[in-house]
Amino acid sequence: MKIGAYGEVMLRLTPPEYRLLEQTHSLRMDYTGTGVNILGNLAHFGLDTWLLTNVPDNRLGDAAIVNLRKFGLKTDFVGKYHNHIGSYFAEVGFGSRPTYVTYQNRHNSSFGISTVTNYLIKEFLETVDLIHICGISLSLTDATWETACALAQQAKQLGKKVCFDFNFRPSLNTEAGKKALMKARYEAILPYCDLVFGTSRDLLELLEIPKEANEDNVRYIQRFLAHYEVEWFAGTQRTTMSEKPYISGRIITKNAHYETEPKLLTVLDRIGAGDAYAAGILLGYAEKWSLEKTAEFATTNAVVAHTLSGDVPLTTRAQIQQIMDYPGLDLIR
């Protein structure tokens, strides 16, 4: 299965060795973004992947493309337009000190101002079998919303699969009317979607789908799946036991569901771990694995992504399989 994604390429700038911005003159530079992360991981799993995006038409855009190629992404649909790339600074946390992410101007980025006419949407859709769209596109700018919507619609028409990630952050949508607008946009795109990443909170708080009395979460989500004719609904859950963090993953279909045991997390860099879970799910979906096999693989992949620095999960199938088969193995020669 050939996988495409529509998403922003961002610069991530990170002080070394857990330092704060005011403690460093040196930054690590990486290229990232939800689409980049998922496709980069899938390329490491051996799939062919294409990103649909625009980067600046200058030396930063050139450098971005160099780095996308490095991840194994195909860059045929990475255009060059305008002159700004969104960026964020990550002051990596330690112990009780959280990681601080400071965003720099994403609205005016080459991606943020690019709309339907700036992309080869038809050619892109003809190339791939499944596309991934991130909910961020619905709230970033009108241009990205229009592009996301057009993509979903046309993909559906062409018989391509659409995978959509809610990724809704209430705290970023507190302006008057913003949440209502978002609700409308999410409702507009969902009918075209086949896989959805999200939580029951998204359904309850954003879509405001009322929960029935005594309805458990699985049943509640299955009602949503039936309504929008979505095949898979996937997500992860974090818990804390004895002051240590754990993660579990689950997949729900209209009439089945599977949830993994909680797995212990050791965290080097948690950004990008959600995308690792998504990549694992897409791999299982693409290769028609069982829910169990898919959820176990995707969750282990997310666990390992927490141990990698940088956002793009550079795991391979063999590596994840080995970690699942030999837990505790700490040296491979």
Query: Min. distance of Cβ 35 from a second copy in angstroms?
Result: 18
CB 56 to a second copy: min, Å: 8
Residue from 17, 175, 261, 325 touching a second copy (CB under 8 A): that is 17
Window 63 to 122, contacts with a second copy (CB under 8 A): 63, 66-67, 69-70, 72, 83-85, 87, 89, 91, 93-105, 108
Taking the least distance from each CB to a second copy, the nearer of 68 and 234 is: 68
Q: Contact, 8 vs 40, CB < 8 A? A: no
Angle, alpha carbons 301-304-308 (nearest 5°): 125
Beta bridge partners of residue 303, listed in sequence order = none
Q: Which of 46, 170, 210, 327 binds a second copy (CB under 8 A)?
A: 327
Pick between residue 45 and residue 228 the one whose CB is nearest to a second copy: 45
Q: How far is the CB of 138 from a second copy (least distance, A)?
A: 17
Window 277-316: residues binding a second copy (CB under 8 A): 303-304, 306-310, 314
Q: How do beta strands 244-253 and 263-264 pair?
A: antiparallel
27 binds a second copy (CB under 8 A): yes
Contact 273, 305 (CB under 8 A): yes
Instruction: Between 257 and 263, name the residue whose CB sits nearer to a second copy.
Output: 263
Residue 38 backbone phi and psi in degrees, to 5: -65, -45
CB of 94 to a second copy, least distance (A): 4
Bridge partners for 112 per DSSP: none
Cα dist. 210→118, 167, 202, 223, 254 in Å? 39, 20, 12, 11, 18
Calpha distance 230→195 (Å, rounded): 6
Q: Is residue 211 involved in binding a second copy (CB under 8 A)?
A: no
Among 25, 214, 261, 325, binds a second copy (CB under 8 A): 25
Min separation Cβ 215 and a second copy, Å: 28
Chain positions 240 to 279 lying near a second copy, rule: CB under 8 A, are 240, 243, 245, 264-268, 270-271
Please identify, among the stretches 62-70, 133-141, 156-164, 223-231, the one whose residues bind a second copy according to the rule CB under 8 A.
62-70
CB of 255 to a second copy, least distance (A): 33
- Nearer to a second copy by C-beta: 157 or 322? 322
Strands 78-80 and 87-91: unpaired
In which residue are the tokens 């919507």 written?
149
217-236: contacts with a second copy (CB under 8 A): none
CA distance 64 to 73: 12
DSSP letters, 128-184, are -SEEEEETHHHHH-HHHHHHHHHHHHHHHHTT-EEEEE----GGG--STTHHHHHHH
Among 2, 28, 211, 257, the residue binding a second copy under the rule CB under 8 A is 28
